Amino acid sequence: MLASGSGTNLQALLEDPFVGPRVALVASDKPGAYALERAASRGVQTVVVEPKDFDSRPGHDAALLQALQAASTDHVLLAGYMRILTAGFVRHFEHRMLNIHPSLLPAFPGAHPVRDALAWGAKVTGVTVHLVDTNVDHGPIVVQEPVLILPDDDEESLHRRIQELEHRMYPRAARLLVEGRLKVEGRRVHVLDGGLEG
């Protein structure tokens, strides 16, 4: 699992009775990330791979990959990881890496989707869980759910409602991935043997 910040989605994953016990490693690019404390408090191994220690993005990502392989990582979940991963890293985990994004992709990709949705005057935004490919916020979509934007919403209030939805959706989608229940055909992801329940 990769995280850069406070790790609220990480916490939801760690608390899930199916996903939590299967988390082998939490890696971060920032030594002060609160996500590391959340992981350590659950007895999960942590590692920091700082970009400043490497001459290039491929060098950094190679070290990150080595750390994940040392922990026998089969799947990767991005939980607020704010670095763009190299194509080589992404291809290593093709169809085995998930990201969660606080908008209904392809609308409002990038680092500030909640702010962007409000600035655009959108009436609806939401949450997307998608498989990671070599483009940013672009991979095949596993699940999406909408969130209405209320007339008096500001960035904080809207983000809070989006996060509540994220914390329910991400563990369910992660379980489908780990159970091998996601079948990818081009840009379409089919859920095998039922839906997102459970």
Instruction: Report DSSP letters for 145-185, one per residue.
Output: EEEEPPTT--HHHHHHHHHHHHHHHHHHHHHHHHTT-EEEE
Q: Are residues 152 and 89 part of one domain?
A: no
- The CA distance from 136 to 127, in Å, is 16
- Does 195 lie in the same domain as 106? yes
Angle at 28 between CA 136 and CA 80, to 5 degrees: 45
Domain boundaries, position 149: 100-198
**How many Cβ atoms from other residues are within 10 Å of residue 109's Cβ?**
15
Statement to judge: residues 70 and 54 lie in one domain? yes
Q: Do 85 and 28 have their domain in common?
A: yes
Amino acid at 38: R
Give yes or no: residues 89 and 105 share one domain.
Answer: no
Cα–chain center distance at 109 = 13
How far is residue 31's CA from residue 16's CA, in Å, rounded to a whole number? Answer: 25
What are the residue numbers of the active site? 101
Sign of CA dihedral 42, 46, 51, 52: positive
Chain length of the chain:
198
Picking from 93, 111, 127, the residue at the C-terminal end of a domain is 93
For residue 66, what are its two tokens? 């080595």
Per-residue pLDDT reduced to its tens digit, 106-164: 999 999 999 999 999 999 999 999 999 999 999 999 999 999 999 999 999 999 999 99
Q: Which of 59, 78, 93 is the last residue of a domain?
A: 93
Domain shared by 122 and 82, yes or no: no
Q: Is the dihedral of CA 13, 18, 20, 26 positive or negative?
A: negative
Residue 127 confidence (pLDDT): 98
pLDDT, averaged per 10 consecutive residues of the chain (198 residues), comes to 96 97 97 96 97 96 98 96 96 97 97 97 98 96 98 98 98 97 96 67
Q: Are residues 127 and 60 in the same domain?
A: no
Other C-beta atoms lying within 10 Å of the C-beta of residue 48: 15
Task: Indicate which CATH number applies to the domain containing 113.
Answer: 3.40.50.170
Judgement on whether residues 107 and 81 belong to the same structural domain of the protein: no
Instruction: Report which of 63, 71, 66 is spatially closest to residue 39, judged by C-alpha positions.
Output: 71
Count of structural domains, the chain: 2
* Single pTM value for the model: 0.94
Together in a domain, 26 and 52:
yes
Q: Output the pLDDT for position 193.
A: 83
**CA distance linking residue 173 with residue 177, whole number of Å:** 6
- Domain end position, chosen among 44, 65, 93: 93
